[in-house]
Amino acid sequence: MKDALDHQILAGNTRAAARLMRLIDDRHPAAPDILAGLFPHTGDAYVIGITGNPGSGKSTLVNQLITEFRSRNDTVGCIAVDPTSPFSGGAILGDRVRMQDHAGDDGVFIRSVATRGHLGGLSRSTPAMVQVMDAMGFDVILIETVGVGQDEIEIVRLADTSLVVMVPGLGDDIQADKAGLMEIADVFVLNKSDRPAISQLRRQLQTMLSLHHQTSPDDTYRRPPLINTNALTGDGIDALVGAIDDHRLHLDEILDPQRRFQHRCAHLVRAIARTELEQRFHSACHSPDFDELIDQVADGRLDPYSAAQRLAATMLR
Amino acid sequence: MRSDTYAPTTYRILIGKPGLDGHDRGAKVVARALRDAGFEVIYSGLHQTPEALVQTAIQEDVDGIGLSILSGAHNTLMPRVVELLRDEGADDIFVFGGGIIPDDDIPQLKAAGVAEIFTPGTATSTIIDFVRGTCDKKYGRSDSGDP
């Protein structure tokens, strides 16, 4: 299966790439070898993350961004993440509904992914799926996270440019001062800009950003621009793509390509190792040794803290 | 592509609305039922062409496509999807359908390669059993394991 798949993927075969993505999602033992073969062919794609509250218009915005990038002849891969039900393990992946404008365009590859219990706004498989699209030669890869609240910010390590989508009417200015999501934006997208409260939202963000600048001085800090968009009509999308381009230039200035690639490699290795550890943790928690350990804690022969240390030690063996 | 060395942990199904009718309550009920039965369900949205649905099915690597049609165009659209899958070498993806479909049309749809047709009044459990059973068979699983 391996040889066939990686050759087909490098030749741009969608079916083979789609199958590998499924092997990745299913944690199939054949996937890491195939990915290792693809790795030398990666590193050229520009990765853009889109995150924000549920219903803020992320998918509609992605649809418009695809149009804009396609008009420049960039090919676009898109990974759209939606939540898995914690009860049934099933999911409804509905982001494509808003991306219908690109049906039939061979320069666009959209893949819907379920979180399968992973927290952080992405699926465990997302970093490897980006690798697959990168190896296929897509110029731009858009990653739409699940609709996130405040702390699901894993996207920032995976994307070159992170967009945080805000909409008016979701809270007062103390929300803007909270940590997490608000700190990761390279560009703030103020969507649904036809709503009257948009100017209030803009003011709140501006206040928040000016305080940040005074309290965390940093040479490489760049104040994220605020871009008004109306994803339904397409208003402001050209300005948004301009802001993404500006941020890309900024990255080129502060980090040489080699260093950037190093950052990306570091993230990838961490993500792969974390998945491996999670898998070991899962098997360690479903073993007779684990049951024995729990018996000891329940009988009062062992305290839970020592038991946890022993469990952790078995994982690393 | 051969699937014989691979058995997925989770089955993936595309629920598609081809053609011009805008009645998607049924499609959404089936999508929701499959979700609650543990499937990953990709919903296409309204007004899709057969070409777009087949492209989606391939990009998403689904096991089957459920087509919801209430416009009367099933005799054209359903066989077209089957034909396009065959053209793409993706005829391991099965096609099933539902909607306002006269009993008299069902034999010719099945002859054209549609695996099953569900008409109004079908219990969602019947649809789930069919989809799971067909997926199990596809991967050589005899009993109904977890999708």
Among B42, B44, B132, B146, most A C-beta atoms within 10 A, so best to mutate, is B42
Q: Could you state, in order of their start, the residue ranges of all structural domains in chain A?
A: 1-41, 43-256, 285-316
- CB neighbours (10 Å) of residue A306? 12
SS3 B127: helix
Q: What is the mean pLDDT of residues B47-65?
A: 96
Query: CA distances (Å), B109 to each of B47, B71, B72, B96, in order?
Result: 21, 16, 13, 10
CA-CA distance, A122 to A143, in Å (whole number)?
Answer: 9
Confidence of residue B124 (pLDDT cuts 50, 70, 90): very high
Q: Which of residues 49-88 of A touch B (CB under 8 A)?
A: 84-85, 87-88
Distance CA A163, CA B63 (A): 33
**Chain B residues inside the 8 Å CB shell of A89:** 10, 38, 146
Residue B117, beta-bridge partner list:
B97
Say whether pLDDT at A46 is over 60. yes
Residue with the larger pLDDT of the pair B30 and A86: B30
Strand partners, A184: none
What is the reported pLDDT for A40? Answer: 95
Model pLDDT, residue A173: 61
pLDDT band with cut points at 50, 70 and 90 for residue A2: low
Are residues A154 and A121 in contact, defined by beta-carbon separation less than 8 angstroms?
yes
| pLDDT surpasses 60 at A17 | yes
A17: tokens are 């790439």
Cα–Cα separations (whole angstroms), residue B2 to A233, B115, B146: 43, 20, 22
Which CATH architecture group holds B12-138? 3-Layer(aba) Sandwich (3.40)
Instruction: Give chain A's mean pLDDT.
Output: 89
Distance CA A119, CA A260 (A): 25
* Domain positions in chain B: 12-138
CATH superfamily of A43-256: P-loop containing nucleotide triphosphate hydrolases (3.40.50.300)
Q: Which of A258, A272, A223, A213 is nearest to A243 (CA)?
A: A223
- A93 CB within 8 Å of a chain B CB: yes
What is the rounded average pLDDT for all residues in chain B?
A: 92
Q: Which two tokens stand for residue A41?
A: 């062919």
| Residue A119 backbone zone (phi > 0: left; psi -120 to 50: alpha; other: beta) | beta
Give the pLDDT mean for A268-288.
Answer: 88
* A83-112: burial string, b at 16+ Cβ within 10 Å, e else: bbbeeebbbbbbbbbbbbebbebeebbbbb
Residues B131 and B94: their CA atoms lie apart, in Å, by 9
Report the alpha-carbon distance of residue B93 to residue B57 in Å, rounded.
8
Q: Are A82 and A183 in contact (CB under 8 A)?
A: no
> What percent of chain A lies above the pLDDT cut of 90?
56
Split at pLDDT 50, 70, 90, the class of B3 is very low
Q: Mean per-residue pLDDT for A38-65?
A: 93
For the beta sheet containing B40-43, the strands, ordered from the edge strand earlier in sequence to the opposite edge, are A91-93, B40-43, B12-16, B64-69, B94-99, B116-118
| Residue B143 confidence class, pLDDT cut points 50, 70, 90 | low
What confidence tens digit (pLDDT) does each residue in A65-79 have? 999 999 999 999 999
Token pair belonging to A307 = 């038991």
Element holding A260 (H helix, E strand): helix A257-284
Binned at pLDDT 50, 70 and 90, residue A152 comes out as low
Of B32, B40, B55, Cβ closest to residue A104? B55
In this prediction, residue A48 carries a pLDDT of: 97
What pLDDT is recorded for position B2? 43
The whole-number pLDDT of residue B4 equals 47
Residue A177 has pLDDT above 50, yes or no: yes
Q: Which of A60-74, A174-188, B58-72 has the lowest mean pLDDT?
A: A174-188
Q: How confident is the model at residue A258 (pLDDT cuts 50, 70, 90)?
A: confident
Q: SS3 for B119?
A: coil
B90 to chain A, any CB pair closer than 8 A? The answer is yes
Mutate to test the interface with B, among A19, A26, A82, A96 (most CBs of B within 10 A): A96
Contacts A26 to B, Cβ<8 Å: 8-10
pLDDT tier for residue A256 given thresholds of 50, 70 and 90: confident
In one-letter notation, the amino acid at residue A43 is G
Q: What is the mean pLDDT of residues B87-114?
A: 96
**B35 contact A CB<8A:** yes
